[in-house]
A and B are shown apart, each in its own frame.
Chain A
């Protein structure tokens, strides 16, 4: 990868990588640090990483950096979701996003990361398996469980 291609990667992927990390960790400062670490690693290994593989490389680095970070900070403050806090069905886009985000936080960390890689970045199952180091079957199972869990939580709010 050339220097220009690396800088193109910054333009193309910095925001997406930041979204992936900050939505998972909920900590902007840590997310910034991890994004910086990911790009630092990409710069160091730019000669071995092809431009076409740069995005996966960045997400792989960020994913494992997040796992490491969560291992160190495993006693994270967790705010449970209380459906009764909402007296009426959410209407606005902001309310929907807010509830989905809360429901997302109910998932375990791996499910949460996988569903973000799927929905935000549109990765295929095989690509997610490569990024996370999980098997293809594990990816499918985790994503299936993640959708089911989300559906169960969200059903409480979005009553048809």
Chain B
């Protein structure tokens, strides 16, 4: 074997490109010529030593198709909806604790949210209290909630201001309220946010509107009052629990604007908005 052939075999051996016959030929030749072992070892040094590298950011390379992303987004949306439903349930049970009533008692629930007027500008804190009981003024077999907007009553200054206002409800305002409460317009059944735009509403003592041919009953009651409990009342009633729940949620949504409603509608220190669901 000449030197060129030997060199070619050695290099191809390093490249792992020898046939079995060629391997045998090379091994036999090296065995027969031990002085070439050193030369063979030098050639072996030209094989690159094993080395590992790690790509630093594989996450950047991974891909996910739209289908999978849609599935993930769908899962996330479902989780959000489930979470909202649970929160809604908790919220409803907090402001409308029907299940707490004894079976043999008339089913009446009342919750009240007190919105500070003067200090509303200083703080967004809403203090709330819940009370339960039978109100003889209302039908004994009703659910009703009361959202009462009153002057600030802090824990340290418990004395409430009294009412001394006589209001009237104009026919125009009543018609606007009726229009808002039309069947098919149930999503906006509680017109608190719209009422903010009504400037001529003045509550009149014992004013009551009943829309018998619709699911919604609206009563606007007001009485001269000497204390917070007898504050002018905007009473909204709903015959179906679903509508009643919508009303409560609408109150919750608009409760932040309640002080504005109070200022624009009643020019009074006190507004009590009652939501009533009648049992039929």
Query: Which listed residue (B8, B38, B61, B63) contacts A14, Cβ 8 A?
Result: B61
B6 an interface residue at 8 Å Cβ cutoff?
A: no
State the main secondary structure of chain B at its contact with A: loop
Query: Which listed residue (B8, B41, B49, B61) contacts A39, Cβ 8 A?
Result: B61
B38 engages A32 (CB within 8 Å): no
Q: Which of A11, A22, A96, A151 has the most CB of B within 10 A?
A: A151
Q: A100-B49, A118-B15, A119-B47 are in contact. Are A18 and B55 (CB under 8 A)?
A: yes
- Interface bracket on A: 35 or more
The complex places the Cα of A89 from the Cα of B65 at a distance, in Å, of: 55
Query: Which listed residue (B46, B49, B56, B64) contacts A32, Cβ 8 A?
Result: B56
**What 0/1 pattern do residues 50 to 69 of B give for CB contact below 8 A with A?**
01111111101111110010
B60 engages A18 (CB within 8 Å): no
**What 0/1 pattern do residues 1 to 40 of A give for CB contact below 8 A with B?**
0010011001100110111001100000000100110010
A116 an interface residue at 8 Å Cβ cutoff?
A: yes
Query: Which listed residue (B8, B41, B51, B64) contacts A160, Cβ 8 A?
Result: B41
Interface residues in chain A, defined as those with a beta carbon under 8 Å from any beta carbon in chain B: 3, 6-7, 10-11, 14-15, 17-19, 22-23, 32, 35-36, 39, 43, 93, 96-97, 100, 104, 115-116, 118-120, 122, 124-125, 143-144, 146-148, 150-151, 154-155, 158, 160
A-B contact pairs, 21 of them (CB 8 A): A7-B62, A7-B63, A15-B53, A15-B55, A17-B55, A18-B53, A32-B55, A35-B55, A35-B61, A36-B61, A96-B49, A104-B48, A115-B48, A119-B48, A120-B51, A147-B14, A148-B7, A151-B46, A154-B42, A155-B42, A160-B41
Q: A120-B51, A154-B45 are in contact. List 14 more A-B contacts (CB 8 A).
A: A10-B62, A14-B61, A35-B55, A35-B61, A39-B61, A96-B49, A118-B15, A119-B48, A120-B48, A144-B11, A151-B43, A151-B45, A155-B42, A160-B41
